[in-house]
A = this chain, B = another copy of it.
Amino acid sequence: MAQRRGLIKGGFDSLLLCLIAQQPMYGYQIIKELEKRSQGYFRFKEGTLYPALHRSEKAGLIQGKWQTLPSGRQRRYYHITEKGLHSLAAKRSQWLDFLAAMNLIIQPVSD
């Protein structure tokens, strides 16, 4: 059960990896992008996002690099690492397994 513990709870980390795998992104952008793509469903707070980014970076799944805009503003862009790509593939497969298991339980109930 150990590898499944983080599945339901830590699903958010998968979303992060998924987004960053598509293109490097910075924190604030990720929050907006998740909200936009999910049509307003996901509205994560900074207090959720930044610790998750730091966690993932510490785990070597993503790597952040400071970039300075022409305006002088600083942004920390995160890109996915090789290890992160493997982790993403694993997480996606675990997600599908989880969905399959859920469906086996839930589907018998008709509306």
- Interface residues in chain A, defined as those with a beta carbon under 8 Å from any beta carbon in chain B: 1, 4, 8-9, 11-12, 14-15, 18-19, 21-22, 34, 37-39, 41-43, 45, 88, 92, 95, 97-102, 104-106, 108-109
Contacts and interface: CB of A to CB of B under 8 A. Distances in A.
Given A1-B43, A21-B109, A109-B22, A104 B9 contact: no
Binding site secondary structure of chain A: helix
Give how many copies assemble into the complex: 2
Contacts of A15: 102, 105-106
Contact of A18 (B9, B98, B109): B109
A99 B42 CA distance: 12
Given A8-B11, A11-B102, A37-B104, 15 more contacts: A1-B43, A1-B45, A8-B8, A8-B9, A18-B105, A18-B109, A22-B108, A22-B109, A39-B101, A39-B104, A41-B98, A41-B104, A88-B109, A95-B106, A99-B99
